[in-house]
Amino acid sequence: MQYRPFGKTGITVSALGFGAMRLPMTADGKHADEEKAIAVIHRAFELGVNYIDTAPYYCEKESEIIVGKAVQGWRDRVYVSTKNPIEDASGDNWRARLEQSLRKLDMGYVDFYHMWGINWQTYAERILAPGGPLEAAQKAREEGLIRHISFSFHDEPDKLIRLIDSGHFETMLVQYNLLDRANEQGIHYAKEKGIGVAIMGPVGGGRLSGFSEEIRRLLPEGFENTPKLALRFVLSHPGVSVALSGMSTIQMVEENAATASQTEMLSEDERQRIQQLLDQSQKLAELYCTGCGYCMPCPNDVNIPANFEYMNYYRVYGLKDYARAAYANLGQGSNRVKSLPASACVECGECEDKCPQKIPIMEQLKEVAKTLG
pLDDT digits (tens, 9 = 90+) for 292-339: 888 999 999 999 999 998 998 888 878 888 899 999 999 886 555 578
Over residues 102-116, the mean pLDDT reads 97
Over residues 31-56, the mean pLDDT reads 97
User: What pLDDT score was predicted for residue 220?
Assistant: 61
Bridge-partner residues for 82, per DSSP?
Answer: 113
User: What pLDDT score was predicted for residue 132?
Assistant: 97
What's the half-sphere exposure (Cβ side, CA atoms, 13 Å) at 350? 11
Chain segment 348-371, per-residue pLDDT in tens: 999 999 988 888 999 999 999 999
CA distance 147 to 262: 30
Where residue 92 falls among pLDDT bands split at 50, 70, 90? very high
pLDDT at 58 over 60: yes
User: What pLDDT score was predicted for residue 293?
Assistant: 84
Sequence spans of domains, the chain: 3-267, 289-372
Backbone conformation region of residue 128, classed left if phi is above 0, alpha if psi is from -120 to 50, else beta: alpha
pLDDT at 217 over 80: no
pLDDT at 194 over 90: yes
**Nearest Cα residue to 359 out of 271, 19, 368, 21:** 368
pLDDT at 278 over 80: no
Where residue 51 falls among pLDDT bands split at 50, 70, 90? very high
Alpha carbon separation from 337 to 1, 282, 302, 366 (Å, rounded): 46, 30, 9, 20
CA distance 198 to 131: 28
What's the half-sphere exposure (Cβ side, CA atoms, 13 Å) at 201? 16
Q: Which residue has the higher pLDDT, 335 or 201?
A: 201
Where residue 179 falls among pLDDT bands split at 50, 70, 90? confident
User: What pLDDT score was predicted for residue 274?
Assistant: 78
Q: Provide CB contacts within 8 A for 346, sequence distance 6+.
A: 300
CA distance 214 to 61: 38
Over residues 249-265, the mean pLDDT reads 91
CA distance 21 to 18: 9
Q: Are 66 and 52 in contact (CB under 8 A)?
A: no
Bridge-partner residues for 340, per DSSP?
Answer: 302
User: What pLDDT score was predicted for residue 266?
Assistant: 80
Q: Are 224 and 258 in contact (CB under 8 A)?
A: no
User: What pLDDT score was predicted for residue 227?
Assistant: 76
Name the CATH superfamily housing domain 3-267. NADP-dependent oxidoreductase domain (3.20.20.100)
Q: Is the peptide bond before 24 cis (omega within 30 degrees of 0)?
A: no
Phi, psi (rounded to 5 degrees) for 101: -65, -40
